[in-house]
Amino acid sequence: MKATLLYGAGDVRVEEVPDPVIQEPTDAIVRVVRTCICGSDLHPYHNKSPEAVGRQIGHEFLGVVEETGAAVTGLRRGDLVVSSFSYQDNTCDFCREGLQTSCRVGGFFSAAQAEFVRVPQASGTLVALPGVGEDSPLLPSLLTLADVYGTGYHAARTGRVGPGSTVTVIGDGAVGLLAVLSARALGAERIILMGRHRARTDLGREFGATDVVAERGEEGVAAVRELTHGDGTHAVLEAVGYLEAYEQALGVVRPGGVISRVGVPQYAQGPVGRALFGGNVTLTGGPAPVRNYIDALLPGVLDGTVEPGRVFDRVVSLPEVPDGYRAMDRREALKVLVRP
Ligand SMILES: [Zn+2]
């Protein structure tokens, strides 16, 4: 099959690799119908040291079940399914607590930008989409359930966003924009989106942002404070992952508020002393247990109440994936959808 391999920073290639096969009775093989490039794929795209052997990449996909292991239940060949970016049994104690990313037999996909994917723990990982066809216009929105929609929703949930909340969202990538959409759905009264790409922040306004702050750093903090009478906001949803974004979050959080980070931190150290302590600020967030949210978010996608798939603004074929990485890296594309 064709698969995307990362050889080093800036070096993505699409090459032939062996087809995946069932290895455990709990596995399934899925033929990928749609996959995509994630903002978090850009981190290794920037940082990875060059290697002679490429490694597969990608963690968001929906597709058709081709084969199931002997222990797989609830799925059959031909089912159109969406996967979470983590795999999990969905039955252990962590899974039952809604923390599927800490599943005792779980892990994370890293080979989904390909024609086929081996899915461990298939029964707990794949969600069938009955009545949805391979050519459905809903596919882009359904694909966001694999990661970015669930991750934005996780930010809002762990940020304790509810009716009347004031919220700052840091970052105008797909996750930030879907954190806006989620905060709106959870009843936030005011949503300040910090981002400087006009096309993206315009979509953020359509998703529910009430204000946009294009400045960053101290200027950005001052702008949010001015909008909130000096207080900051109850929730700060940080969807970037750089230290500067975290520091910005510290600057705009209201006393008693919550900072939720869902951008994968690209730093090992940052201020957690008096910056958090003084204002009784809660720091939370982490990899989103999106499997926990799919059941809740799916109906709104199916009935068209929400259109999270609007974050996709470019479509490429599998051989064109390297162009997709370049386009996202140069901020020419917000999020790239791949049709293998
Ligand atoms: Zn589990």
CA separation, residue 308 to residues 24, 103, 272 (Å): 34, 27, 33
Centre of ligand 1 from the C-alpha of residue 330, in Å: 38
- Ligand 1 centre distance from Cα of residue 89 (Å): 5
What share of the chain has pLDDT > 90, as a percent? 100
Strand duo 253-261 + 282-285: pairing: parallel
pLDDT tens, residue by residue, 312-335 = 999 999 999 999 999 999 999 999
- Cα 93 to averaged position of ligand 1 atoms, centre (Å): 6
Rounded to the nearest angstrom, the distance between the alpha carbon of 103 and the centre of ligand 1 is: 4
* Alpha-carbon distances of 270 from 19, 68, 125, 225, 299, rounded to whole Å: 43, 45, 34, 22, 39
115 C-alpha vs ligand 1 centroid, how far in Å? Answer: 27
Instruction: State both tokens at 256.
Output: 């008693």
Q: What is the CA(102)–ligand 1 centre distance, in A? A: 7
For 110, other C-beta atoms within 10 Å of its C-beta total 15
Q: What is the pLDDT of residues 72-125, one digit of tens each?
A: 999 999 999 999 999 999 999 999 999 999 999 999 999 999 999 999 999 999
Contact between 279 and 253 (Cβ < 8 Å): yes
- The token pair that represents 313 in the structure block: 């603004």
User: How much is the pTM?
Assistant: 0.97
Confidence of residue 304 (pLDDT cuts 50, 70, 90): very high
Q: Ligand 1 centre from 61 Cα, in Å?
A: 20
Q: Whole-number mean pLDDT of the chain? A: 97
Cα of 95 vs centre of ligand 1, distance in Å, is 4
**Ligand 1 center from residue 12 Cα (angstroms):** 33
Q: Which alpha helices (H) appear in 174-238, and where do they start and end? A: 174-185, 198-207, 217-227
Please give the C-alpha separations between residue 283 and each of 133, 134, 214, in angstroms, as whole numbers.
Answer: 41, 41, 24
Summarised one tens digit per residue, pLDDT across range 45-68 is 999 999 999 999 999 999 999 999
> If you measure from the C-alpha of residue 288 to the centroid of ligand 1, how many angstroms do you get, rounded to a whole number?
14
Ligand 1 center from residue 106 Cα (angstroms): 6
Which domains does the chain show, CATH number per domain?
A: 2-147+289-339 (3.90.180.10), 152-285 (3.40.50.720)
What Rg do the C-alpha atoms of the chain give, in angstroms? 20
Residue 141 alpha carbon to ligand 1 centre in Å? 26
DSSP state of 276: H
Q: In which band, very low, low, confident or very high, does the pLDDT at 280 lie, cut at 50, 70 and 90?
A: very high
